[in-house]
Amino acid sequence: MSVTFHIETVGCQMNVLDSELITASLLREGFQYVENPKLADILLFNTCSIRQHAEDKIYSALGRLKHVKKYYPQKILGVIGCMAQKEGEMIFSRAPHVDLVVGPGQIARIPYLISKIRAGQTPQLELSLDRRGKNRQEVESSFDFYDPTRDLLARENPYQAMVRIMFGCDQFCTYCIVPHVRGPEQSRGMEEVLAEVQQLASQGCREITFIGQTVSKYHDESGNRLSDLLEKTERITESSSLQRIRFVTSHPNSMTPDLLEAVRDLPHVVPYFHVPAQSGSDAVLKRMNRGYTVQKYREMLDEIHQTVPGAAITSDFIVGFCGETEEEFQQTMKLTEDARFKNSFIFKFSPREGTKAYQLYADDVPEEVKKRRNNELLELQNRISAEDNERFEGQMVEILVEGLSKNMKKLPVLTEGFPEEEEKTGFGKGGMSGEEKPEEMVQLTGRTACDRIVVFDGPRSLAGTMQNIKITRTSAFTLFGEMMVSGREE
């Protein structure tokens, strides 16, 4: 019987991509993927360190697995990703039943390390160098580039793919652990990135998302910038299935005219910018070392609106950062009100050991205050998102169909279909030969170019196609609509 594996993934898109790449490499080794972690011979946790909560959850999951390991000593338990890099040996002391700890800069070595463990050499630890006090080049080369040939089998959905164009981060926002766990900022060469896009496109991929912590700062050794990469990628759309090109996450200080003009001029690059503000207060931004003022951020928003009219802009905010006063928080509310972001991700500040904020400032905003500010800002943002979505009522939108909606995935029993819905929409009637059964209607989900989620009923076979949907109802997070079926009006 073949050896099975499962990867539990938390964290950002970097981790989602890493898990895909690790899955592909383990499949190539002959291991078999299983959905159920309980059935896995090799269970890996791809972890995140961005907030304390993310780490606590992993430690408690590891705690629960202690007795499992006692009864099934052959089971291999691994902690990989950002928390592995941050915690290192500490993971073995807190959870001695763990066999494998591998940082995000060493994931190429996972199959080899697993083979060593299977040969009885446990535990295994593989980390990149700690940045502090080390020579930059040495540290850079300890973070291996790992973006091997893409394997269709390892992706949840063949129509969409992420492509890493940058590693690490050099911004050193005082609250943030990422520069420590993901290493120095490095851009991949444009030709290499384009070859990967070309390969994905030839596999039928319709949407690619370029990812990096400060993706707008992309620049390779030959001097190519993100605008150059977008332009070259646009050319691939002319001779392939590729329809949409996205990029996340942008930094407010690198939204240069060439980038905005590329988004304006290249028809397949979506008019969507995730460009986190983090705070609406100059004093807080300074303590965060974000490198801009609120005024500069507002000017940057104006430039986006002027160059790319109708663009969707989204943000992240941290509330309750060290020393944040009520007045400073109200300035964040004001910025949110004025900017009218499509949506914002809002986080309560979580102190991270090893960061500047941890050394320099006290985590002095009480938890209840953080919670209240979080709710207040969320409520404001949700009101804005709901208002923003209302204008789509009655409009047609073009979407890329992604597949079953989240509800459907959670409730497999519903995937049996909705015969009465089929009647209602009339889809599949007319043009069908007598023998052919109409396809079941299921709840599907897709996204507009500006990343708005659209839920509608349609046949499963639409996954991966572009469709026009008429929006009938909206909420803060979702547009609900109907497929436009030709001949339906008659």
- Nearest Cα to 390, choosing from 327, 301, 452? 452
Do the beta carbons of residue 108 and residue 145 sit within 8 Å? no
Considering beta carbons, is residue 225 or 244 the nearer one to ligand SF4? 225
Which of ligand SF4, ligand SAH, ligand F3S, none does 288 bind, CB closer than 5 to 8 A by kind?
none
| Distance of closest approach, residue 377 Cβ to ligand SF4, in angstroms | 18
User: Is 316 a binder of ligand SAH (CB under 6 A)?
Assistant: yes
Q: Draw the binding track, 142-171, toward ligand SF4 (x: CB under 6 A; -: no contact).
A: ---------------------------x-x
| Distance of closest approach, residue 370 Cβ to ligand SF4, in angstroms | 18
Do the beta carbons of residue 419 and residue 457 sit within 8 Å? no
Query: Would you tell me how many other CB atoms lie within 10 Å of the CB of residue 376?
Result: 16
| Distance of closest approach, residue 350 Cβ to ligand SF4, in angstroms | 13
Burial 254-268 (b: 16+ CB within 10 A, else e): bbeeebbebbbebeb
Which of ligand SF4, ligand SAH, ligand F3S, none does 49 bind, CB closer than 5 to 8 A by kind?
ligand F3S
Give 267's strand partners.
none
CA 150 from centre of chain? 18
Considering beta carbons, is residue 171 or 382 the nearer one to ligand SF4? 171
Q: C-alpha angle 29/33/39, rounded to 5°?
A: 120
Q: Which residues contact 360 (CB under 8 A, 6 or more apart)?
A: 174, 322
Considering beta carbons, is residue 14 or 162 the nearer one to ligand F3S? 14
User: Is 277 a binder of ligand SF4 (CB under 6 A)?
Assistant: no
Name the site residues for ligand F3S (rule: CB under 6 A).
Answer: 11-12, 14-15, 48-50, 82, 177-178, 181-182
Interatomic CA distance for residues 121 and 200, integer angstroms: 37
Q: Draw the binding track, 272-291, toward ligand SAH (x: CB under 6 A; -: no contact).
A: ----x-x-------------
Q: Which of 51, 219, 264, 298 binds ligand SAH (CB under 6 A)?
A: 51
H-assigned helices in 207-275: 226-237, 257-265
User: Is 183 a binder of ligand SAH (CB under 6 A)?
Assistant: no
| Edge-to-edge strand ranges of the sheet holding 76-81 | 32-33, 4-9, 42-47, 76-81, 100-102, 124-126
In the region spanning residues 200 to 219, those forming contacts with ligand SF4, defined by CB under 6 A, are: 213-214
User: Is 343 a binder of ligand SAH (CB under 6 A)?
Assistant: no
In the region spanning residues 92 to 131, those forming contacts with ligand SF4, defined by CB under 6 A, are: none
User: Is 404 a binder of ligand SF4 (CB under 6 A)?
Assistant: no
| Distance of closest approach, residue 323 Cβ to ligand SAH, in angstroms | 14
Identify the residue whose tokens are 């969409």: 160
- Nearest Cα to 21, choosing from 169, 172, 202, 200? 200
Which of ligand SF4, ligand F3S, ligand SAH, none does 172 bind, CB closer than 5 to 8 A by kind?
ligand SF4
Helices 110-118 and 13-28, interaxial angle, to 10°? 50
Q: Which of 103, 104, 105, 179 binds ligand SF4 (CB under 6 A)?
A: 179
In the region spanning residues 232 to 271, those forming contacts with ligand SF4, defined by CB under 6 A, are: 251
Q: Which of 173, 205, 275, 300 binds ligand SF4 (CB under 6 A)?
A: 173
Q: Contacts for 12-17 with beta carbons within 8 Å, 24 or more apart? A: 12/48, 12/50, 13/162, 13/209, 13/211, 13/248, 14/104, 14/164, 14/182, 14/211, 14/213, 15/46, 15/47, 15/48, 15/81, 15/82, 15/104, 16/162, 17/162, 17/164, 17/211
| Distance of closest approach, residue 287 Cβ to ligand SAH, in angstroms | 13
User: Is 175 a binder of ligand SAH (CB under 6 A)?
Assistant: yes
Interatomic CA distance for residues 19 and 6, integer angstroms: 10
Identify the residue whose tokens are 């060493």: 106
Considering beta carbons, is residue 142 or 249 the nearer one to ligand SAH? 249
Interatomic CA distance for residues 460 and 175, integer angstroms: 44
Identify the residue whose tokens are 């120095």: 184
Which residue is at the shortest CB distance from ligand F3S? Answer: 11
Considering beta carbons, is residue 171 or 478 the nearer one to ligand SF4? 171
User: Is 213 a binder of ligand SAH (CB under 6 A)?
Assistant: yes
| Interface ranges with ligand SAH (CB under 6 A) | 50-51, 175-176, 178, 213, 249, 276, 278, 316, 318, 347, 349-350, 352
| Interface ranges with ligand SF4 (CB under 6 A) | 169, 171-173, 176, 178-179, 213-214, 251
